[in-house]
Amino acid sequence: MTRLMMGAATLALSAGTAMADYTLHILHTNDMHSRIESINRFDSTCNAEGEAEGKCFGGVARVKTAIDEKKASLGNQNVVVLDAGDPFQGSLFYTTYKGAAEAEFMEQMGYDAMAVGNHEFDDGPPKLADFIDAVTFPVISGNLDLSGEALLKDRVQNHVVLEVGGKKIGVISALATDTVETSSPGPNVVFQDEIEALAADVATLEGEGVDIIIALNHVGLNKDLAIAEAVPGIDVVIGGHSHTLMSNDDGETPAYPTMVGDTPVAQAYAYTKYLGHLTVTFDDAGNVTAASGDPIVLDASVAPNEAFLARIAEMGAPIEEMKTRVVAEAADVIGGDRSVCRAMECSMGSLIADAMLDRVADQGIEIAIQNGGGIRASIDAGPITMGEVLTVLPFQNTLSTFQVTGATVIEALENGVGQIEDGAGRFPQVAGMSYAFDVSKPAGERVSDVMVGGAPIEMDKVYGVVSNNYVRNGGDGYGMFVDAMNAYDFGPDLADVTAEYLAAQGPFTPYTDGRITAK
């Protein structure tokens, strides 16, 4: 029988005669994406002026303060600090230090465990291995078969048991199985079904007498809800990957926590802007009897840790000149919000796709396709720095040109709109073409009205396409491009292409022009 799913800020789950006797405080982050420095309201790096005006959020120095202060206020009683993955990728700190900066700061922030996120594989297993070697807290993922990957098989743990206030707390984990499409785990990392793997880990821990089990996942909210439904031995789910803000102060967001039967599910947005704080009470048998909380916004009222700030300045010195170099100007906000660029035409997507096409139009290229998941931030009005552009496009992707038939272009678009419901990064921002889609239709049958250069697309005609090397090599489900004709993956960096295009425009006025239409 399906258990009732409902949201509640606070929910008492039993009215028995015995009072619950154990309360656990879970402090959690997810999807920090290398926001070592503080961020502005567009999730890009904040500047000194923004800090002076009290307009900045987050950054690891604020997270450090928030964790320390919350622990102190709780008397360090029954507190665990968890991260649900993806500290990697998203700023010049990652581009420069490849995980070493994230490891250094997280090691000092007091984490008890971290889940492997998909972006921990962006530079393959070696950089994840280096990260794990640099921290003392366990890094876990339970649905990875690492027996064939020598760098990780003795480093990534399947699960961990924490001793907290005299209780054994089992922490298990699953990583989204489409990581093979969204990152670069390599051929030796084998993914297992998330639900099956988690159920097996629950059985193992229960067999060892562990009666409180937390699933620390990097699979996205929809999958977390399904996991809470399907694996009854899981008591709490702490998630990441979908960058979901769950809050009790905003009717537009899922409640924090969202309850699936008696299992609370929680996530705390992304980019260091919030610290999640979930309070869960258990009875003597380890059953959840109450769950409450809300994410804590890390705004200017949270003073950054001074030692962290000094170290951030030291590590940031070599990249400051590049980061602060003004390359262009924006007449208005260039919107790169994740929820928009993965679901419809967005002004940042149109800009990037147009910049790509402009760079190679003299090579006979007619179509540009940029995956929405490669767009990581917005840019505010005013001067645009190279640091801002690199925050939007941090992956060091290069331009790729190739040739495919119109039928393959249609297949690519169908892939791109096939997972809109999950906010998947494969959504195609385009230039040189237009298309419509109907999300009410089954995946694979959603795309219509495809035009290239103002004319209907021809299924047998060969078109020149530009994308980034990640997409051309099959990332985000674009496997239909892997065997494309005349492929060249070694063009200029996409961030440089975008910066140079912006510079050539004078003050850039953001736009959308109806090239993508939802029916």
Q: What is the 3-state secondary structure (H, E, C) of 465-493?
A: EEEEHHHHCCHHHCHHHCCCEEEECCCCE
What integer is the mean pLDDT of 207-226? Answer: 96
Q: Is the pLDDT confidence value at 290 over 90?
A: yes
Distance CA 72, CA 74 (A): 5
Number of domain units in the chain: 2
Peptide bond just before 264 cis, omega within 30 deg: no
H or E element, residue 22:
strand 22-29
Mark whether 239 and 262 lie in a shared domain. Answer: yes
Distance CA 167, CA 164 (A): 5
What integer is the mean pLDDT of 400-428? Answer: 96
Per the structure block, which two tokens stand in for 174?
């699953």
The length of the chain, given as a count of residues: 519
What integer is the mean pLDDT of 189-205? Answer: 98
Q: How confident is the model at residue 490 (pLDDT cuts 50, 70, 90)?
A: confident
Q: Does 379 map to a domain? A: yes
Query: What's the pTM value of the predicted model, to 2 decimals?
Result: 0.81
| Residue 452 identity (one-letter amino acid) | V
The CA-to-CA distance between both ends of the chain, in Å, stands at 36
Mark whether 288 and 341 lie in a shared domain. Answer: no
Q: Does 393 map to a domain? A: yes
* Cβ contact 291:11 at 8 Å: yes
Q: How confident is the model at residue 515 (pLDDT cuts 50, 70, 90)?
A: very high
pLDDT on residue 4: 31
Distance CA 148, CA 152 (A): 9
pLDDT on residue 12: 45
The residue out of 279, 312, 345 marking a domain boundary is 312
CA angle 36, 42, 48 (to 5 degrees): 55
Q: Does 317 map to a domain? A: no
Q: Is the pLDDT confidence value at 16 over 60?
A: no
CA-only gyration radius of the chain, Å? 23
Mean residue pLDDT across the chain: 93
Mark whether 255 and 368 lie in a shared domain. Answer: no
pLDDT on residue 13: 46
The residue out of 263, 284, 312 marking a domain boundary is 312
Interval 226-270: pLDDT, tens: 999 999 999 999 999 999 999 999 888 999 999 999 999 999 999
Distance CA 16, CA 52 (A): 53
pLDDT on residue 44: 81
- Please report the sign of the dihedral spanned by the C-alpha atoms of residue 288, residue 289, residue 294, residue 298: negative
Per the structure block, which two tokens stand in for 451?
């035009």
List the single range of 16-25, 164-173, 350-359 with lowest mean pLDDT. Answer: 16-25
- Spell out where 44-138 has E strands: 79-83, 113-115
- Residue span of the structural domain in which 514 resides: 326-518
Mark whether 396 and 308 lie in a shared domain. Answer: no
pLDDT on residue 18: 46
pLDDT on residue 91: 86
Please give the share of the chain, as a percent, with pLDDT higher than 70.
Answer: 96
Mark whether 231 and 202 lie in a shared domain. Answer: yes
- Strands 113-115, 160-164: pairing is unpaired
Mark whether 363 and 436 lie in a shared domain. Answer: yes
Q: Is the pLDDT confidence value at 5 over 60?
A: no
